[in-house]
Structure 1
Amino acid sequence: MKGFSIIIVTWNALNHLKNYLPSVVETEYPDFEIIIADNASDDGSKQWIKSTYPDVKIATFDRNYGYCGGNNRAVPFTEKEILLFLNNDVRVDKNWLHGINKAFKDDMTAAVQPKMLSDKEPEKFEYAGAAGGFIDKYGYPFCRGRIFEEVEKDEGQYDNNRNLFWASGAALAIRKDLFRETGGFDEDFEFHMEEIDLCWRLQNLGYQIGYAPDSVVYHLGGGSLPMGSPRKVYYNFRNSLFMLWKNYSSFSLRKRFGIRILLDIVAAWKALAQGKPKEWWAVAKAHLHFLKDLGKVSRKRAYLQKQRVNKDDPDAMLNFSIIWQHFLKAVKKFKNLP
């Protein structure tokens, strides 16, 4: 059996810890530890943890490093071979680690995601991860069980083991040695898509991303940046460009990156036509900041391309446009995609 170090990043979220940490502590598994990565909270979180769960480790930082920075800085406090990054608003089944452990039997499986259901509507998948993540050939992310805003009910339709493109950062298990080898989360991302970038880097090194359907967690979601927030739009578009430029194969960078730019422009002007000028500006600002950082991102690409084993794009990148399938062909469920 693998040992798990469960890392939970938090910042002034005592209410979430009171609601969700008890289920994690009550996990039934012989070898795990819990590390709270506290990003300089001043709401009494540390005092409550020490008095309520004295066996839970606390890694205290001097300021708020966000998701990427908090998780990266918590890794030196861990003692087990598998890191499990868990959001502070996730409730877990007591036997959830057994399924994830089983998914790591293949030595080429670098990371694993459990089935992720909604804490508000447990019969439905949760937006952020559902039954595992994929991207289309232009880099747009979606999930088994969630395409854009269409979220499916869980009826066991995705309870099969198949490789994913990305595992949700809300509940992401990864081998510690590979996390360190790849440099961990890219802190330039700040929010959103850092887990997709990490999973893509792992696949370019020849590893695969697994799924554990018999491991179930329930995610509240929407805590950091609400849906429709111009700030969320900005990070999604900017970080997607960062990710594509870093990780695309040479073929896709030549043939597909320009089309993705055009699709972003269409999205921006569609937002403006719908009376959403802040969203239009968020997309424009994302592209401006990408251009400003292009030199830095290009240096990262040069390094990563030298390291990669797979010269082509990963097999789990689905070779169609999800924009075309969803908005023009009205496909609403993953199982109906080509």
Structure 2
Amino acid sequence: MEKVSIIIVNYRTADLTIECVKSILAADIKNILIEIIILDNASQDGSYERLASLFPTLAVVALEKNVGFAAGNNRGVEIATGEYVLFLNPDTVVKPGAIEALYAFAKRRPEAGAWGGRTLFADGSLNPTSVSAFVTMRSILYRAVGLSALLKKSPTFNPETYPGWQRDTERKVDILFFCFVLVRADIWRKLGGFDERFFMFCEDDDICWRMQRVGLDRLFSPEACIIHYGGASTPSRPNRIAMLLAARLMWLKLHWSPLAARTAWLIIQAGVFARMVANKTVGWGAHQTAVWEQVWAERAVWARFPN
């Protein structure tokens, strides 16, 4: 019987992590051995103590400092003993049968490098953010000028979100976001795991891009389904946007030509400035305006072109 090592990285989300782990334990998983590894990313809020006390039979590891999502998961794989590794966000609830379905999918489609499933919001509606297409110069431009937001259902102007697909069929995708993704441990180690230059965000884009370059598909199945609340470890929207933009620029620097990356960098900055000005001019709400004003004010951090 094969083993799946489940990696959960906690950062100040103990209540959600506890709910997540309890949902795994309650799922009564059969035909697979399960190993749960919880890493606390130096939360310093009592998270580690609570988790270690509640789950004494599980591997609960305290990291000395907050090394980020990518490095935290890498530390988990270092001690994992399973043939497969399941990366699971702490702000998720595993529905009965989800892990078995994802494992069965991987066994049926072994040509892939990673397998992911369907995510729902707490109310049961579709959370479409478990997959994405790779960014292109066109998609960056359309997002910057607002066309992707205005024409959300257009595959031409909003290609990154796979508009029109309800995540109800199996298919190959560019990016699986690692809130609920299964990978063979040997493949993961050959790839070198997540690039730890990504603290949070775009580490998924990066590992999926590297899988594509060595001929490994990323496959999605609607049969494996979880609840994903989303955004728990970065509740501040301006900070979340700034961190995402910084990670995006890092990804462009690593995988695009210098000229293309610099051009995209300028377009992204122009898009943020335009969003801020448009909100102030049209009056789309004080909250929205404040968000984009703060993001623009922090451009010295996120818009600094990576070295």
Normalised by the shorter chain, which TM-score bucket?
0.7 to 0.9
The yes-or-no answer on 1:240 pairing with 2:248 is yes
Q: Match of 2:220?
A: 211
Distance 1:168 1:2, change over 3 A: farther
User: Given that residues 10 and 39 in structure 1 are in contact (C-alpha distance below 8 angstroms), is that contact kept between their aligned partners in structure 2?
Assistant: yes
Shift of residue 50, structure 1, vs aligned partner? 4.2
Q: Which of 111, 123, 127 is equivalent to 2:114?
A: 111
The reply on whether 1:226 has 2:230 as its aligned counterpart is no
The alignment partner of 2:205 has SS state of helix
Counterparts in 2 of 1:19 and 1:101: CA distance versus 1, 3 Å: closer
Q: Which of 182, 186, 189 is the aligned partner of 2:191? A: 182
Matched letter for residue 11 of structure 2: W
Cα distance in structure 1, aligned partners of 2:241 and 2:62:
30
Letter in 1 for 2:13: A
Contact 2:7–2:87 (CA under 8 A) maintained in structure 1: yes
Q: Which residue is equivalent to 1:80?
A: 82
Which residue of 90, 93, 97 corresponds with 2:92? 90
Q: Give unpaired runs (5+ residues) of structure 2.
A: 154-160, 281-291
Instruction: Structure 1 unaligned segments of length 5 or more: list them.
Output: 294-338
Q: Residue type of the partner of 2:20?
A: Y
Do structure 1's residue 58 and structure 2's residue 67 form an aligned pair? no
2:293 to 277, 300, 306: 277
* DSSP-derived class of the 2:172 partner: coil
Q: CA deviation at 1:216?
A: 0.3
1:1-338 pair list within 5 angstroms: 2-27=2-27, 28-29=29-30, 30-105=32-107, 106-119=109-122, 121-126=123-128, 128-129=129-130, 132-138=131-137, 157-226=166-235, 228-229=237-238, 231-248=239-256, 253=257, 256-273=260-277, 274-275=279-280, 276-283=292-299, 285-290=301-306, 293=307
Distance in 1 separating the partners of 2:189 and 2:100: 24
Provide the identity percentage: 24
Conservation of the 8 A alpha-carbon contact between 2:39 and 2:62: yes
For residues 266-320 of structure 1, the C-alpha deviation after alignment (integer angstroms, 9 at most, x for no partner) is 2132134134432223345423242xx1xxxxxxxxxxxxxxxxxxxxxxxxxxx
Could you tell me how far 1:181 is from its partner in structure 2? Answer: 1.8
Question: Aligned to 2:57, what secondary structure does the other structure show?
Answer: coil
Aligned-pair CA distance for 1:111: 0.9
- Report the CA distance shift for 1:33/1:259 in structure 2 as closer, same or farther (over 3 A): same
TM-score w.r.t. length of structure 2:
0.79
Equivalent position amino acid for 1:268 in 2: V
Q: Per the alignment, do residues 279 and 31 of structure 1 end up closer, same or farther by CA in structure 2, a change over 3 Å counting?
A: same
Q: 1:45: Cα distance to partner? A: 3.6
Which AA in structure 1 matches 2:38?
Answer: I
The CA deviation string for residues 229-260 of structure 1, in whole angstroms up to 9 with x for no partner, is 1x222222221122123224xxxx37844542
CA contact (8 A) 2:249 2:305 kept: no
Whether the aligned pair in 2 keeps the contact of 1:201 and 1:247 (CA below 8 Å) is no
Does the 8 Å CA contact 1:113/1:173 hold for their aligned counterparts? Answer: yes
Q: Which amino acid aligns with 1:264?
A: I
8 Å contact from structure 1 (residues 6, 35) kept in 2: yes
Q: Which has the higher helix share?
A: 2
Output the CA distance in 2 between the equivalents of 1:77 and 1:65: 16
Q: What CA RMSD, in Å, does the superposition of the two structures yield over aligned residues?
A: 2.9
Alpha-carbon distance in 1 for matches of 2:101, 2:57: 24
- Three-state SS of the structure 2 residue aligned to 1:209 is strand
Deviation of residue 65 (structure 1)?
A: 1.7
SS class of match (1:7): strand
Inter-partner Cα distance in structure 1 for 2:195 and 2:202:
10
Q: CA deviation at 1:134?
A: 1.3
Q: 1:62 to 1:259 in 2, by over 3 A?
A: closer
Cα 1:2–1:118, aligned 2, differ >3 Å: closer, same or farther?
farther
